[in-house]
Amino acid sequence: MVTCEREKLAEEEKRLIAPCGIYCGACDIFLGKSMHLARELHRILDGFNLTDVAPFVLEAEQEQARDFLAILKKWGSGKQCPGCIKGGGNPDCPIEACAKEKGLYTCAECERMPCSPDERNEDPFSPESLLGLITKRYSGWNIENLKRIREIGYRRFIDETQAKVRAGFLTSDVISPEMVMTECFNKMK
């Protein structure tokens, strides 16, 4: 098994990859681009004083404009995520706990990767179940990342992926249009 060469990473670089293989360094919440843009768009539209021109649009559009401004304000006031490893994800993430328990940085170092849920264990928050859910949400991208890390190591993987990010790639490019998380939580109700 490839050691993945995690010792070649600076501490700051370790926050770029989540244990499950999501590359946090390509996530907009990590990068903060949309929050900055939301603040700027809110400033522009709010400064335009939409309520002053509201009598000239339909009542339904007035409400939509107010809702949109409220969403922009809320999104723009968010905080950038520090990355899963630095506490940005779920603080009780079973995948991270499993990796830590085994002394691993990511699942790429685990001989069972990719692990699959045990049919007898229906706990949706087991590491295996959550990894399956994340893999579905990210259209298998996280597993491909873990395989690539095994193939070339962390150092080259980060360098390759950062080049893609500089070229415009974002995690949102691979997120499934399916309502993966919503469906999971609805089943739990």
Domain locations along the chain: 6-31+81-188, 33-79
**In the chain, what is the straight-line distance between the N-terminal and C-terminal CA atoms, in Å?**
41
| Least confident piece of the model among 2-16, 23-37, 157-171 | 2-16
CA dist., res. 118 & res. 177, Å (int):
26
Residue 112 has pLDDT above 90, yes or no: no
Per-residue pLDDT at 5: 75
Q: pLDDT at position 140, please?
A: 86
Q: Cα–Cα distances in Å, from 100 out to 80, 92, 141, 157? A: 24, 12, 22, 21
Q: Return all residues near 73 (Cβ < 8 A) that are at least 6 apart.
A: 38, 42, 46
- 155-179 b/e (C-beta count within 10 Å ≥ 16 → b): bebbeebbeebeeeebbeebeeeee
Q: What integer pLDDT is reported at residue 70 of this predicted model?
A: 93
For residue 65, what pLDDT band results from cuts at 50, 70 and 90?
A: confident
pTM summary value? 0.81
Residue 152 pLDDT level (bands cut at 50, 70, 90): very high
For residue 150, the SS3 value is helix
Tokens of 22: 């999501």
